[in-house]
Amino acid sequence: MKKLSYITRIIIAVSSLSLVITYFVPLWQILMWAPQYPEGLEMKIWHNTLTGEVRTISALNHYIGMRPIEVSMFPELGYIKYIIGFLVTFGLATALIGKRYMLFSFLGLLCATGVSALVDFYLWGYDYGHTLNPEAPIRIEGMSYQPPLIGTKQLLNFTAFSGPDIGGWIFIVSASVLFASLFYEWKKNK
């Protein structure tokens, strides 16, 4: 296997170290607007907690039969820090070893982590939006309230948005830079 160029190795190291920032910024955001909340309500998902108007959103969700939103609903928040730490370490090892197969592996791990997180969030959202209390004050037959995975969705009189926050964008940019580096190395050695 050919060695990666010096510049590619520096880019890999910087991309890896940028993931450390995700310990200090939210990874994902859910925003909601309605006529009675024109300023909107927000919930931020961090690597270890939830912030924003979580209590208000939970109280509103109660009326349609959804469970209260609590950190304990997300066991992932207990181990995401280790996944991020592993990715940072693997990325730095990739920069140090400087082999193309390591870059390919690092990019694969980063993408697999992102896809796994989206699948996990979709499954949680599906369960959360479909498992409703049958004795809720407001019931609409056949209606489910699954939040959008990515993008905007109308849920009764609320418009809900779900998408990456600063930490999520760091993951996306890091993976994009690694993909560009892999392409550069492939093109250079072709």
Which pLDDT tens digit goes with each residue over 69-101? Answer: 999 989 999 999 999 999 999 999 999 999 999
**1-5, 46-50, 130-134, 155-159 — most confident range:** 46-50
Residue 1 has what pLDDT?
A: 58
Residue 118 has a CB neighbour count (10 Å cut-off) of 13
Among residues 67, 37, 35, 65, the alpha carbon closest in space to that of 52 is found at 37
Residue 112 has what pLDDT?
A: 96
- pLDDT at residue 160 is higher than 80: yes
Which whole number is the average pLDDT over 28-39?
93
Mean of all residue pLDDT scores within the chain: 92
Do the beta carbons of residue 166 and residue 25 sit within 8 Å?
A: yes
- pLDDT at residue 130 is higher than 90: no
Among residues 84, 169, 74, the alpha carbon closest in space to that of 125 is found at 74
d(CA 46, CA 1): 38
| Residue appearing with tokens 């009675």 | 36
| Residue appearing with tokens 């090892």 | 93
Which whole number is the average pLDDT over 50-67?
89
pTM: predicted TM-score of the whole model, two decimal places:
0.89
Tokens of 157: 């009189």
